[in-house]
Each structure stands twice: as C-alpha cells, then as structure tokens.
Chains A and B, each alone.
Chain A
Amino acid sequence: GQQLNQSPQSMFIQEGEDVSMNCTSSSIFNTWLWYKQEPGEGPVLLIALYKAGELTSNGRLTAQFGITRKDSFLNISASIPSDVGIYFCAGCYSGGGADGLTFGKGTHLIIQP
C-alpha cells in the first residue's frame, strides 16, 4: 500500500533543542495523526488534525495540517530525555475512525547526552 514520505529518518539532538519533522503525500488526506512508539509497545496518539490549515498543540508538541492536505509537520520544543522514541505520522482519507491509517516510515528521535 501507499506510504507517506516522512523525514528526517532519524534525528540526533541535544536535550533542550527543538525538533521538527514532517510528512508529505502524493494524495490528499482528510485526517492527519501523529503517534509516538517506544520499543515493544503500540503507538500512542499525540495529536489529531482534521481541518486543512489546523494548528494544534499538546504541551510542548505542535502539529499542523497543511493547506494542500498533502502534508503535516510536528514540532517538539525544548526536548527532554523522555521524548526519545519513534514518531510516526499517519494519514486517513476519512475521519480516521472508519478507515485504516497509512503510516509514514517514522522518525527516530535520539537525544545525545
């Protein structure tokens, strides 16, 4: 099936730095979701976006639904050690509840001491 183009693939940052990652698609999505996954666990929903242009925050996390509906970004401000993990974007043609999600390949966030 189709996959989203997610970048960067990995990020090596220092604690306190801001992080930015994004996803693009050749198709229009009506819902964008951002998840975080830690080793051996299922993804945890971070932010859900339903309208083009929508900008939503969840604590230090901010995500935007691109105007073209073909892209989304996630920013993490002032990173802390517990932010380590793999972040996935996911798109859905419906509202996200009725159809399966198309996932990006993930961004592996590593915080250097």
Chain B
Amino acid sequence: GAVVSQHPSRVICKSGTSVKIECRSLDFQATTMFWYRQFPKKSLMLMATSNEGSKATYEQGVEKDKFLINHASLTLSTLTVTSAHPEDSSFYICSASFRRMADIGEQYFGPGTRLTVT
C-alpha cells in the first residue's frame, strides 16, 4: 500500500518550453501532496505544499509563477515548469500523505522525474 507514481520518469525539453509532471497516489487518497527538488548528490528541498482544491503554499525563494501546481483531486497533483531554463534541470520528486489520526501522518514519495533542459 501507499504507492505514489510520477509521470514522466525522464523528460528532456528545450529552453523556453513548459513541462508538466504528474504525481498520483495509486491506492490511497492523499490529503496533502508535496513537491521537492533534488540536485545531484544533494538533499531534497521542499518547493511547495498542496492540498486538494486549494492553492499551493510555496516555500521562500520558489517562484509560484514559474512552478505551477494544480491539485485537482485527492489522487492527482501536477507540477508545470513554465518557460524552462537549463538551471531548472533537476530531479523533481513528489510525495503524498494521509492522516491516520489527528496530527499523525507519513509521507510516501514518488520515484521522481529527471528534467533536463537543453
């Protein structure tokens, strides 16, 4: 149980184009989904927190107009990197959580999406 998928697993795009990444919780309804970014040999950095039907909350320094997040249902969140540039190349990982009881929850991560902007 608690499986999270991401699509695509890898994407190469040209500078200036937009790329959409999907995150799905396959066997549970996620109350919250999160988007992280990871540079090679570095740790994961939280980009934004997304609740179904609400606007995403972005971390300081993350441009909300550049990284558009849509959380349309309890099983799907999308991250769109708009007008991508080479410095946006990174490993993007989503996670999803559900609450078993008040204030208790665990996050389960997707397999990640490797974005390369040429």
Binding site for B on A (CB under 8 A): 1, 3, 30, 33, 35, 40-45, 48, 50, 88, 94-106
Contact = CB atoms under 8 A, between A and B. Distances in A.
B59 A100 contact: yes
The prevalent SS among residues of A at the interface is loop
A1 B106 contact: no
Interface string B48-64: 01000000000110000
Interface in B93-114: 93, 95, 97-99, 102-112, 114
A47 to B, nearest CB: 10
Contacts, number: 80
Contacts of B103: 30, 94-95, 97-98
A33 B104 CA distance: 12
The prevalent SS among residues of B at the interface is strand
| Interface core residue of A50, A88, A97 (most chain B CB under 10 Å) | A97
A45 B107 contact: yes
A33 B106 contact: yes
Interface residues of B, number: 31
Interface of B: 4, 6, 31-32, 34, 36, 42-46, 49, 59-60, 93, 95, 97-99, 102-112, 114
